[in-house]
Amino acid sequence: MNLVASFLAGLVFGLGLIVSGMANPVKVLGFLDLAGDWDPSLAFVMGGAIAVGTIAFFVARKRVVSLLGAPMRLPASRDIDRRLVGGNLLFGIGWGIAGFCPGPGLVALGMGEVKALVFVAAMLAGMGIWELLENRVKAPQ
Amino acid sequence: MVIDWNTFTPWSALAGGALIGVAAGMFVLLNGRIAGISGILGGLLKPARGDVAWRVVFISGLLLAPLVYALMAALPAPQIDAGYGVLVLAGLLVGVGTRYGSGCTSGHGVCGLSRLSPRSLVATAAFMAAGFVTVFVIRHLLQA
């Protein structure tokens, strides 16, 4: 049952990305181009998502187990540090140069776009590089 | 700042956004987890027992969304202007950056802001600012 819910969450998320136009990098770049012909759509996507999400997270916050009996795994970290800011700046640069973030990259891959496959493969490589660097940092001297 | 009314799609943006909110909301209420796509995908690179299947099915849902959408309506074709070299660079930066920064547009932007996390607010401000500056540099300074 948990797996069915997980699949449906991914599916509905993907449908939302398609309906909102965010699976299309041109729409995303149109939002990021404040100085050009600006397309505010992405702000409306975030607004719609957060309006619904706030209600769900307000309910979720008070629960110890999920409706399907799984433990609630909400992030405990509250650190605002160099990793958080630096990582997100790097992500933002990558996002700005091609208009893809992880979700839309995967959805466009599902559309059979070869260019999305290249992006997703490089993204996985990037995540792998992080994994290697992390293990080196954490390895005992 | 000039709004391009020809490309601005407020209603489908709101509707699609609401669907994304429903997905994130059902995931936290039913599964107790954050719908953070970079984290869900990245976790597969270091698989732990009992921690793989839910990630695979969530990602499968994302990948199959276009197929399901196509059953109901004509699937809009994405326009990807970036060349292959740029896509590789973008993918590497997004991959490394989202893992260092513990999230992306979904985990920090949608879920984090929905639960009023100051950490996610800083993260979202950082990636948005970097995105704005990057597009400004590429389109208006380099005019590429």
Q: At A139, is the pLDDT very low, low, confident or very high (cuts 50, 70, 90)?
A: low
Q: How far is B1 from chain A (nearest CA, A)?
A: 6
Please report whether residue B5 resides in a domain.
no
Query: Predicted ipTM?
Result: 0.96
Kindly report, residue by residue over A5-16, the tens digit of the pLDDT: 999 999 999 999
Residue A134 tokens, joined: 């992390």
Residue A10 tokens, joined: 């991914």
Residues of chain B with pLDDT under 70: none
Mean pLDDT over the full length of chain A: 95
| Measured torsion, CA atoms of residues B7, B8, B9, B13, in degrees rounded to the nearest 10 | 120
Number of neighbours of residue B110 by Cβ within 10 angstroms? 34
Which chain A positions have a beta carbon within 8 Å of B113's beta carbon?
A: 46, 50, 53
User: Is the pLDDT score of A137 beyond 80?
Assistant: no
Chain centroid, CA B116 distance in Å = 18
CA distances from A71 to A2, A63, B42 (A): 11, 9, 21
A55: contact with B, CB 8 A cutoff: yes
Closest CA relative to residue A63, chosen from A72, A53, A54 = A72
Please report whether residue B129 resides in a domain.
yes
Which chain B positions have a beta carbon within 8 Å of A90's beta carbon?
A: 93, 96-97, 100-101, 130
Torsion sign (Cα): B117, B118, B119, B122: positive
pTM of the model: 0.96
Domains contained in chain B, number: 1
Residue A140 confidence (pLDDT): 60
Q: At A34, is the pLDDT very low, low, confident or very high (cuts 50, 70, 90)?
A: very high
Which chain B positions have a beta carbon within 8 Å of A78's beta carbon?
A: 117-119
Domains contained in chain A, number: 1
Residue B6 makes CB contacts below 8 A (sequence gap 6+) with: none
Domain extent, residue A39, equals 2-138
